[in-house]
Amino acid sequence: MALSATTTIAFKTVNTQICSRNFLPPQRHLPFSSSLSSSSFVRTVSARAMELERKNPPVIDENGVLKKGIAEFYDESSGIWENIWGDHMHHGFYPPDSTVSLSDHRAAQIRMIEQALRFASIPLEDERKWPKKIVDVGCGIGGSSRYLSQKFGATAVGITLSPVQAQRANALAASQGLANKVSFQVADALDQPFSDGQFDLVWSMESGEHMPDKAKFVSELARVAAPGATIIIVTWCHRDLGPDEESLKPWEEKHLKKICDAFYLPAWCSTADYVKLLESLSLQDIKSEDWSPYVAPFWPAVIRSALSWKGLTSLLRSGLKTIKGALAMPLMIEGFKKDLIKFAIITCRKPE
Amino acid sequence: MRLLTHNMLSSNIKGVEKGFPLRIEAEKVVEKPVEMNADFLRKMFEKVEWKAFVEASRSMGYAQLPEEVDSGMLESDEFLSRFHHALLELHLEEGALVCPETGRRFPVNKGIPNMLLHEDEV
């Protein structure tokens, strides 16, 4: 790859502890019922977490370092992404085995939103049942919020850790005449600045992978959901563990860690882990599916765009974080090919 | 930040029982006219916490909203235009949102509130 010359620069790994296996916090933070804690998977992981905590005193403000890294990564990279790919910072949805050109990708990204709504059984034909208040958790530069607001005539608020993204998202809303319906704030998905039960659609499109505490992330999604609301999570997961497996294989852990370092991701979990978390919160109609076959053309297309003249010149003008992220892209393709990485959708409903 | 947004935001600092509404410290308020949509206003009327809205509007320098309201007022053009003005045309560009219980200030810069909590507030 043409950028290999830059690999001679030694990139400082932000935090080697970030991608540890222990994404569940010590027991005292777990908000959910004993039906989950009875599973051996939780016992193993939380026992290991406590053991590690005893042996290695936690790095001070580890999550703070991660959050800062995420904010800076997106502060630096969002502009270049938007310049080449537009305002949707998520995968496109492609018919399997299709060949697509760059001009099809925006349509594919819209299709991803529409397919997600369909999968979640949002009653698209009945206007009276459309969501009226939407929250976009990990909103990027607001592509989903603006699209959903226009589609449903709803208000939407988005939250992001990146001040640059919030600024850009608001500016785009204003330029599209949507500023009275859509607004963006800097806030943490793990502590959403909203009171309980405010939103009838809770939307998380490819932000879950950044959340260091999956249990807290999911419980916040449930908290801000109104009775009867729909929760839609589209996120990167690792493959479900087999019945005899306690963890991924060493090569799989190593592979994911490289991606974590480049994209400011904490430890990955599986789709099954998300389903268990939603079950523990007594959410209903829980559905999940592996959409990896439908996103296959995406990373090759992103790489091609990075290697274009526009892509290369933009990258070289961007910064080390963006370049490091770009260099990790082949790892995503490899991860999908080896059935390690899964592109997952998980949806559910909050009881009335 | 418009008052429509302010009406949704709350302080979730650990231990805080009632983090809504956030008090407004206005340093720079800008008025940006926007076209009125009566249908939208009627829909929003159901969702707005009115007392918090009137108080917030006052902090932004606009005191023309009635203290008490009923849905009959939605027929009045005068009321709709005041509601519209306060809800959508007043922008807090610089200032802060203050937690009603702890006094903690969440800064607002360039119109964007920063609601990130510190490590010890989580």
Domain segments of chain B as ranges: 3-113
Asked whether residue A81 is assigned to any structural domain, the reply reads: yes
Asked whether residue A279 is assigned to any structural domain, the reply reads: yes
Q: Give the gap in angstroms from C-alpha A172 to the nearest C-alpha of chain B.
A: 14
A140 token code pair: 């990027």
Q: How sure is the predictor about B78, in pLDDT bands with cuts at 50, 70 and 90? A: very high
Contact A64/B at CB under 8 A: yes
Mean pLDDT calculated for residue range A304-329: 86
Would the pLDDT of A12 be above 90? Answer: no
Q: Please answer whether residues A161 and A70 qualify as being in contact, where contact means their C-beta atoms are separated by less than 8 angstroms.
A: yes
Element (H, E) at A109: helix A105-119
Q: What is the mean pLDDT of chain A?
A: 84
Asked whether residue A162 is assigned to any structural domain, the reply reads: yes
Contact A237/B at CB under 8 A: no
DSSP A162: -
What does pTM read for this prediction? 0.84
Q: How sure is the predictor about A339, in pLDDT bands with cuts at 50, 70 and 90? A: very high
Q: How sure is the predictor about A81, in pLDDT bands with cuts at 50, 70 and 90? A: confident
Question: In angstroms, rounded to a whole number, what is the distance separating the alpha carbons of residues A323 and A311?
Answer: 11
3-class state of residue B27 by DSSP? strand
When divided into structural domains, chain A yields a total of 1
Q: What is the pLDDT of residues A33-54, one digit of tens each?
A: 333 344 455 455 555 555 555 5
C-alpha B107 chain-centroid distance:
15
Asked whether residue A29 is assigned to any structural domain, the reply reads: no
Asked whether residue A8 is assigned to any structural domain, the reply reads: no
Asked whether residue A138 is assigned to any structural domain, the reply reads: yes
C-alpha A163 chain-centroid distance:
18
Range of weakest confidence among A7-21, A165-179, B22-36, B42-56: A7-21
Whole-number percent of chain A with pLDDT over 70: 81
Question: In angstroms, rounded to a whole number, what is the distance separating the alpha carbons of residues B76 and B81?
Answer: 9
Question: Nearest to residue A328, comparing CAs of A339, A315, A317?
Answer: A315
Q: Is A274 exposed, middle or buried (0-12, 13-18, 19+ CB in 10 A)?
A: buried
Would the pLDDT of B12 be above 60? Answer: yes
Yes or no, beta carbons of B4 and A180 under 8 Å apart? yes
Q: What is the pLDDT of residues A292-308, one digit of tens each?
A: 999 988 888 888 888 88
Asked whether residue A148 is assigned to any structural domain, the reply reads: yes
Element (H, E) at A143: helix A143-152
In terms of DSSP bridges, do strands B23-31 and B90-98 run parallel, antiparallel, or are they unpaired?
A: antiparallel
Asked whether residue A27 is assigned to any structural domain, the reply reads: no
- Give the Å distances, CA to CA, from B29 to A244, B24, B89: 61, 11, 10
**Phi and psi of A231, rounded to 5°?**
-115, 130
Parent domain of A303: 77-350
The CATH number for A248's domain is: 3.40.50.150
Interface of A with B in 128-167 (CB under 8 A): 132-133, 153, 155, 157, 159, 161, 163, 166-167
Q: Which CATH architecture is the domain B3-113 placed in?
A: Single Sheet (2.20)
**ipTM score:** 0.89
